[in-house]
Amino acid sequence: MMVLGCDLGGTNVRVRLARGTPEGTQTVAEHHYRSAEHADLESVLLSFLQQTHTAPAALSVACIAVAGPVEILAQEQRARITNLPWVVDSAALRQRLGLPYVELINDFQAIGYGLATLGTAELLTLQPGTPRARAPKALLGAGTGLGQALLVWCGTGYEVIPTEGGHCDFGPGDPLETGLLEALSARLGRVSYEDLLSGPGLVRIAEFLAQQGPYRAGPALASAPADELPAVIGAAAVAGSDPLAMATVDRFLGIYGAQAGNLALASLALGGIYVAGGIAPKLSALFPTSPFLTRFRAKGPMSQLMERFPVHVVLNPDIGLDGAVHCAWRRSLQRQAGLMPV
């Protein structure tokens, strides 16, 4: 069988053709495209199929991971793409391109499917825990926002259940975070974990710490354009070149650990807690010495339970595309077994 995976973002579209077997997939071809150079996803996929000399009917399943919410309509899906004037419709793609089966999933959901493809070198294990086979797994990842998902074993593999858990109310862990909550409440009203565990969240923490003292923004932070400031804060913290950046990331990772622990308790994900997203790999060198694991475990009477959860940071930057391909492969096997529409 041949399957197609696509990772559709606001800037780039990455497409991969893979050959599927009962054991997994093998990449046949992969191309990347600039989103702005194409009118819609249909034209991107047509170009890819032509470049790879692939007949649409030869594909068993195409899975498209999209940067934006996916609306479920009976057996079809539709999505408006964040930062692009595109509407992607699974039925329209199937009909216009002649594809046998198309499924749209959220890009963070694709990361969940990609966990099954990871090797040990693509994970930073913060806590080995005591993993339980086929137990639920949980995934969270800070980037532009805070994504969260659950993975539940369904017969032959894990299925990914997207959530909006990143929008849960933020709970401060000490007096300084109580002050942070009060300051943000005055600006934002309600404060969620996403308001802190995201690129904009890094900036909010830095602004608050600068106001509290004794830290002040160094030259790199003071001169950074607003849209580059989260990346500059992270890079300066990793380099150890700016005390405000270092204090900001240290606090950020502590809050990150606290919310990862909340998710672990809410899901009893003894299969593992996975930290992914755009920010975590860039800060991976700081996780082991940060408050992340201390805050993860600090759950009162549940503290001993927290030591049983495996905790990993995902290092693979291509996990979204890997996950889209893996999902396509899973769906192809399910269709062959008569578990899905053909």
| % of the chain beyond a pLDDT of 90 | 88
* pLDDT tens digits for range 166-216: 999 999 999 999 999 999 999 999 999 999 999 999 999 999 999 998 888
Report pLDDT for 213. 82
Omega before residue 214 within 30° of 0, cis: yes
DSSP for 200-262 reads: HHHHHHHHHHHHHSS----HHHHHS-GGGHHHHHHHHHHHT--HHHHHHHHHHHHHHHHHHHH
Q: What is the CATH number of domain 120-314?
A: 3.40.367.20
Q: Is the pLDDT of residue 133 over 80?
A: yes
* pLDDT tens digits for range 54-94: 999 999 999 999 988 899 988 899 999 988 899 999 999 99
The residue written with tokens 């995976």 in the block is 5
Report pLDDT for 144. 87
Task: Give how far the C-alpha of residue 90 lies from the chain's centroid of Cα atoms, to the nearest Å.
Answer: 22
Q: Is the pLDDT of residue 11 over 80?
A: yes
Averaged confidence pLDDT in the chain: 95
Report pLDDT for 155. 86
Q: Which CATH superfamily is domain 2-106+318-336 in?
A: ATPase, nucleotide binding domain (3.30.420.40)
Q: So where are the chain's domains? A: 2-106+318-336, 120-314
Q: Is the pLDDT of residue 118 over 80?
A: yes
Q: Is the pLDDT of residue 251 over 80?
A: yes
Entry pTM: 0.93
DSSP for 298-317 reads: --GGGHHHHTTS-EEEE--T
Report pLDDT for 321. 97
User: Is 323 in contact with 110 (CB distance < 8 Å)?
Assistant: yes
325-331 mean pLDDT: 96
* pLDDT tens digits for range 267-312: 999 999 999 999 999 999 999 999 999 999 999 999 999 999 999 9
* pLDDT tens digits for range 12-47: 999 999 999 888 999 999 999 999 899 999 999 999
Q: Is the pLDDT of residue 340 over 80?
A: no
Residue 188 exposed, middle or buried by CB count within 10 Å (0-12, 13-18, 19+): exposed
For residue 15, the SS3 value is: strand
- Per-residue pLDDT band for 139 (boundaries 50, 70, 90) equals very high
Report pLDDT for 341. 64
Omega before residue 225 within 30° of 0, cis: no
Report pLDDT for 121. 95
